[in-house]
A and B are shown apart, each in its own frame.
Chain A
């Protein structure tokens, strides 16, 4: 069982917006502003999309945005495009010795 809870799947049509949630506890998501999000296409390595809750690395489209409220973080993708179809994983700093925990992943389908 993953430390952070994500929906197994979400879907949307091209041009629409979708939001993926990531729920943790006060020991991880809720306690710190250190949530990150990764995109993974089949057979590929994960790619960092968001860090520190809402920051985008250089080169990541501004269609991707992150936010947090209490123990739940969210990734929003606006203007959905076919190439956004992928698995998305959240991760958070945690006060345990592991330093970071992952969510179980969410499969995004672009209809």
Chain B
């Protein structure tokens, strides 16, 4: 059974840092592109960042570029999102999801999400 389990969320002050993790199981993690999607309270889904299967290629939304870093450890079947210089507008539930399809542009499995709250 495919499982994605996020962790690392919590309350952080503006300007602070947080590292999210996404533990994958039930599939060959190293064969799949992955991404992070966030959802602010009461708002829609917003794409944050993606990484290819071996970690050599990454992409970021303009809103997080230069502040967030996506990475992966295929030996540990884990995806990461390092978030620095956090702002109030980064407050959201962060989901990790597996990317599939001919253009790796849709997700067939999602984690349950981890809540990040940026507030003083």
Contacts and interface: CB of A to CB of B under 8 A. Distances in A.
B50 to A, nearest CB: 6
Q: Which of A40, A44, A93, A100 has the most CB of B within 10 A?
A: A100
B110 A100 contact: no
Interface in B93-107: 95, 97, 99, 101-107
A64 interface: no
B112 A91 contact: no
B108 A57 contact: yes
Contacts of A40: 45
Interface in B74-104: 95, 97, 99, 101-104
Contact of A91 (B50, B95, B104, B105): B105
Interface of B: 35, 37, 44-47, 50, 59, 61, 95, 97, 99, 101-108, 110-113
Given A2-B44, A102-B44, A105-B45, A48 B59 contact: no
Q: Which of B45, B50, B61, B99 has the most CB of A within 10 A?
A: B45
A85 interface: no
Contact of B45 (A57, A97, A98, A102): A102
Contacts of A46: 37, 45, 95, 97, 107, 110
Nearest to A32: B103
B95 A45 contact: yes
A38 B45 contact: yes
Nearest to B110: A45
B47 A101 contact: yes
A99 B102 CA distance: 11
Contacts of B95: 45-46
Contact of A48 (B37, B50, B108, B112): B108
B102 A34 contact: yes
A103 interface: yes
A81 B117 CA distance: 35
